[in-house]
Amino acid sequence: MSNINKHVDFFDRVQHITEGFLTRSAVVRRDKKEKRKAKHPVLDWLDAFIWAACMVLLANQYLVQAYRIPSGSMIDTLNIGDHVLVNKLVYGPELLPGFIKLPGFVKPERNNIIIFESPAYISRGTVFDVAQRVIYMLTLSLVDIDRDEKGDQRVHFLIKRAAGKEHDRFAMVNGNMLIRFAGEDRWVSESEYNKKRGWNHNITRLLTEDQYPLLRAAGKAEGWYEKSFSLSRELLDQTSLAGDLRYYDGFARGEARLETLRKAAPDDARYAKELAKRRLGWYVPEGRVFPMGDNRDSSNDGRNFGPVSIKKVLGKGMVIFWPLPRVGGMK
């Protein structure tokens, strides 16, 4: 009989504890509900907004961020006004906007579409940079407060294709890229290499082969003008025609100018040195990538500012999410 009483006492205690726990839980839920009712709707909305904003900031900073394409340097892959999503985790996100880049899972590979800080960007200060990037992320790239005196957007980030990686060499011939890989003794055309790899993204050219003689004539005329030489009628006519071209290949024109100056002043080592640098092309040191726009004749890229440190590469292009007709992945 005593055993039965013990069991009854035990179950009574369990029931009492359970009822107490459920009662306290109900009271807590009721109190929370009453507090929510008593809370001002504006404060309730503000709490929800702050929570949502924090989630957006965390996702944008460490996982995926939205960007708007400001220029035509990547046409036809990316058009002006396209809104894209960039994977920030794969190459390593920044701990804070503009500060301390964390290690990534992989390094940028050849042909990846990458976003990076423009080497030409001049900061307005840490506070402004952080505020600009927070607002930009919160509005999913719709609002950018970083504007110049005319109200135009200042280019803080660039999105290009990683055309080359460590130890590659590059040269341009009539606007067409040649690559010499580490350990190789011959140059390979970009089109040949891409074809072998099965990469079919479009390289947009705005200049044609028959326009290059005009560009070289204009470069030659610049050299003659610098040396105060008289220009022939034929050269004047060609230069005039070159002036009607909408786009220029500054490298081809500059090479023709240097050739003229070197011939005019063979004793001046500066011209021979600069000409040799142009013909040797660009070398990509370790820890860097060489970015180029797919729109080769209208792109500010590695040909202008050189290879970019991998530490400055912030993400890898994923998809276009706006406008609707262009929704899809990046290739």
User: Which pTM value belongs to this model?
Assistant: 0.78
pLDDT in tens, 71-104: 899 998 999 999 999 999 999 988 877 778 888 8
Closest CA to 313 of 303, 324, 302, 304: 302
pLDDT at 8: 45
pLDDT at 30: 59
Which of 11-15, 161-165, 226-230 shows the highest mean pLDDT? Answer: 161-165
Q: Does residue 29 register a pLDDT over 70?
A: no
pLDDT at 14: 46
Rounded alpha-carbon distances, angstroms, from residue 230 to 214, 223, 227, 241, 289: 18, 11, 9, 18, 44
pLDDT in tens, 31-55: 566 565 555 677 777 777 778 777 8
pLDDT at 7: 47
Averaged pLDDT, 17-30: 57
Question: Hey, how many other C-beta atoms are within 10 angstroms of the C-beta on 65?
Answer: 25
Q: In this prediction, what percent of the chain has a pLDDT beyond 70?
A: 88
Contact, 212 vs 174, CB < 8 A?
Answer: yes
Distance between the two ends of the chain, CA-based, in angstroms?
A: 82
Buried b vs exposed e over 189-219: b needs ≥16 C-beta within 10 Å?
ebeebeeeeeeeeebbbbbeeebbebbbbbb
Sheet holding 169-173, edge to edge: 188-189, 176-180, 169-173, 282-283
Helices in the chain by DSSP H: which ranges? 2-38, 41-62, 126-138, 190-197, 212-226, 233-243, 250-264, 269-280, 302-305
Domains and CATH numbers, the chain: 57-167+285-329 (2.10.109.10), 209-277 (no CATH)
**CA 291 distance to own-chain centroid:** 9
Token pair for 142:
């719709």
Q: Does residue 130 register a pLDDT over 80?
A: no
Q: Amino acid letter at 50?
A: I
Q: Amino acid letter at 189?
A: S
CA distance 189 to 174: 12
Q: What is the mean pLDDT of the chain?
A: 84
